[in-house]
């Protein structure tokens, strides 16, 4: 009986061996015999065809095969871009942060900083903002601030980079948006009768930003909020600043939309 029991195990062992063989064939690395240049070429082909999910693992392999070479650095940057195009912002940023930390003297550092700014910039805009017509100033500002810092670092360290002019333009847009965000919150509080909170947010915008369009409405919200609270002297002071700074303001002529109107209908 013992011999029979041993024989009965054989088919099971054979089946397991066959399955293991199939698994090993399935998991076989087709790039094992490829040169780094071929891996890079294949990854670029996948990128150009929009198959970012296929390009990413190829770039990962290339980083290992070509470790310590400029090609490995290039692979890391292109992998970050592939993550970005795949709407995997967190992975893209993690890859870029690793590159910036490991290769501080890289000749591609300007591009790394620019791409980091772009990833945060687009993440902040939101994938469906074009459908909802949601203003950037109406979203959480964490990504906008991180985008600004990356662009600022780029402009300071690489003023002659080909990416710097676009970075500066985006910085201006971000600053305007951050100021509009404060006014958006102030307007929200005003519309709900929270006049003290509205005053605080409007004052924050006025204290932290200069020469941006949003400050005109910030002053108008101050005037309206002080008036609602019966603070006549403060109301008149804010109105005088509004008149001096924006003498042609529609808020002064009665043509302004008022603090309840959304920005995209006014600016």
Q: Is the pTM of this model over 0.85?
A: no
For position 131, what pLDDT does the model report?
33
Digit-by-digit pLDDT tens for the chain (267 residues) are 444 444 444 454 444 444 545 544 455 778 888 998 999 999 999 999 999 999 999 999 999 888 889 999 999 999 999 999 999 999 999 999 999 999 999 999 999 999 999 999 876 554 334 333 455 445 567 888 899 999 999 999 999 999 999 999 999 999 998 899 899 999 999 999 999 999 999 999 999 998 899 999 999 999 999 999 999 999 999 999 999 999 999 998 765 455 544 433 322
Question: What is the DSSP secondary-structure string of 138-153?
Answer: GS-SHHHHHHHHHHHH
Q: What sign does the CA torsion over 16, 17, 20, 26 have?
A: negative
Rounded Cα distance between 184 and 259, Å, is 9
Q: Report which of 35, 239, 61 is spatially closest to residue 78, judged by C-alpha positions.
A: 61
Q: Does domain 39-105 have CATH number 1.25.40.10?
A: yes
For position 3, what pLDDT does the model report?
46
Rounded Cα distance between 241 and 249, Å, is 12
For position 140, what pLDDT does the model report?
60
């Amino acid at each position: 009986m013992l011999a029979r029991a041993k024989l009965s195990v054989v088919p099971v062992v054979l089946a397991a061996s066959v399955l293991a063989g199939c698994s090993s064939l399935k998991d076989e690395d087709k790039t094992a015999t490829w040169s780094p240049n071929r891996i890079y070429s294949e990854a670029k082909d996948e990128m150009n065809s929009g198959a970012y999910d296929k390009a990413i693992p190829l770039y990962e392999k290339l980083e290992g095969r070509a470790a310590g070479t400029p090609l490995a650095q290039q692979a890391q940057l292109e992998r970050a871009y592939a993550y970005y195009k795949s709407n995997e912002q967190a992975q893209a940023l993690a890859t870029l942060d690793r590159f910036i930390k490991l290769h501080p003297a890289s000749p591609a550092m300007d591009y790394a900083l620019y791409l980091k700014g772009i990833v945060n910039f687009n993440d902040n805009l939101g994938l469906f903002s074009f459908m909802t017509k949601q203003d950037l100033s109406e979203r959480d500002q964490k990504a906008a601030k991180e985008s600004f810092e990356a662009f600022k670092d780029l402009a300071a360290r690489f003023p002659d980079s080909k990416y710097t002019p676009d970075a500066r333009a985006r910085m201006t847009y971000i600053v305007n948006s951050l100021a509009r965000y404060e006014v958006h919150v102030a307007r929200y509080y005003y519309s709900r009768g929270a006049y003290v909170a509205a005053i605080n947010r409007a004052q924050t915008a006025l204290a932290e930003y200069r020469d941006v369009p949003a400050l005109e409405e910030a002053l108008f919200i101050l005037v309206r909020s002080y008036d609602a609270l019966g603070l006549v002297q403060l109301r008149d002071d804010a109105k005088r600043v509004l008149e001096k700074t924006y003498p042609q303001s529609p808020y002064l002529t009665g043509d302004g939309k008022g603090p309840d109107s959304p920005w995209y209908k006014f600016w």
